[in-house]
């Protein structure tokens, strides 16, 4: 009996070790799946922002004065979290290790690091566009809590103050497309909490399709703005195509 108990104990330890490392694999290149008819659909998020009374006045004044040419992205203002998840038609690359997850967006060349619990990590210092993110697994779900977000006051695009926090839940879902071929997706359910602006957490959802053949390309934004500046001053950059 002692030998049997020992075998069960060793077997249980091995099983526990296997389960501990049986985490979803988010590695690879992903692309927003908003127009993919075969993608899994989450319950829709907020369409109308639940502004509190003071924030509603600010939002109304902002929208009334806003013109499409005032869109911050047109001036290379990085959207940051939560706006970067996952709508713009640019791929994102995810690199996952035991201790952290790195993300690189093609759009605006944004970078994000998610520290996984149980591993060494630095203390947060500055508020940034992507904030300070710590994740842990609840079964097959990656739960990420983010704080230290930099203020984003542009109120047509899910604004936030520097008191905001975000909680995300990531899941890998496999679904067959119309041709019966299985396709891997990453779903994200996100809640933005900011009591200075909203009466309740703002729900934002998104889905990415695994797309290993969609590489990250060089994103150009500020160069165009600088070229326009030179044109306004009548300065013409040299044309290197004339060189032999």
Helix (H, G, I), strand (E, B) or coil at 134: strand
- Kindly give, in sequence order, each residue whose CB lies less than 8 Å from that of residue 82, ignoring residues fewer than 6 positions away: 158, 160, 166, 190, 192, 204
Tokens of 199: 């009466």
Residues 16-32 pLDDT 10s: 443 445 789 999 999 99
Q: Which residue from 93, 91, 130, 125 is spatially nearest to 112, judged by alpha carbons?
A: 130
- What is the rounded average pLDDT of the residues 111-135? 97
- What is the rounded average pLDDT of the residues 63-91? 90
- What is the rounded average pLDDT of the residues 153-168? 95
Burial class (CB in 10 A: 0-12, 13-18, 19+), 121: middle
Q: Which residue from 194, 104, 210 is spatially nearest to 149, judged by alpha carbons?
A: 194
Task: Please check whether residue 150 is in contact with residue 129, taking contact to mean a CB–CB distance below 8 angstroms.
Answer: yes
Tokens of 149: 């977000």
- Kindly give, in sequence order, each residue whose CB lies less than 8 Å from that of residue 50, ignoring residues fewer than 6 positions away: 198, 199, 200, 202
Name the most confidently modeled range: 17-26, 63-72, 197-206. Answer: 197-206
pTM to 2 decimals?
0.85
Domain segments of the chain as ranges: 24-232
Q: Which residue from 82, 83, 80, 90 is spatially nearest to 208, judged by alpha carbons?
A: 90
Q: How confident is the model at residue 47 (pLDDT cuts 50, 70, 90)?
A: confident
Q: Which residue from 127, 86, 90, 95 is spatially nearest to 114, judged by alpha carbons?
A: 95
Burial class (CB in 10 A: 0-12, 13-18, 19+), 202: buried
Q: Which residue from 185, 183, 137 is spatially nearest to 41, judged by alpha carbons?
A: 185
**pLDDT at residue number 42:** 85
């Amino acid at each position: 009996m002692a030998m049997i108990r020992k075998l069960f104990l060793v077997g249980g330890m091995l099983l526990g070790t296997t389960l501990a490392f049986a985490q979803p694999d988010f590695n690879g290149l992903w692309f927003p799946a908003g127009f993919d008819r075969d993608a899994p659909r989450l319950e829709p998020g907020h369409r109308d922002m639940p502004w509190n009374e003071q924030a509603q006045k600010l939002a109304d004044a902002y929208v009334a004065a806003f013109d499409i040419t005032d869109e911050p992205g047109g001036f290379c203002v990085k959207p940051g979290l939560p706006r970067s998840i996952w709508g713009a038609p640019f791929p994102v690359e995810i690199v996952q290790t035991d201790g952290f997850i790195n993300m690189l967006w093609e759009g605006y060349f944004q970078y994000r690091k998610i520290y996984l619990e149980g591993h060494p990590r630095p203390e947060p210092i500055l508020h940034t566009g992507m904030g300070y993110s710590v994740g842990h697994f609840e079964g097959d779900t990656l739960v990420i809590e983010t704080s230290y977000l930099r203020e984003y006051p542009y109120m047509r695009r899910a604004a936030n103050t520097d008191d905001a926090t975000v909680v995300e839940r990531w899941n890998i879902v496999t679904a067959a497309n119309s041709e019966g071929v299985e396709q891997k997706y990453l779903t994200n359910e996100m809640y933005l909490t900011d009591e200075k602006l909203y009466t309740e957490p703002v729900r934002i959802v998104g889905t990415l399709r695994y797309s290993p053949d969609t590489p990250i390309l060089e994103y150009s934004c500020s160069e165009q703005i600088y070229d326009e500046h030179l044109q306004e001053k009548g300065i013409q950059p040299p044309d290197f195509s004339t060189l032999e």
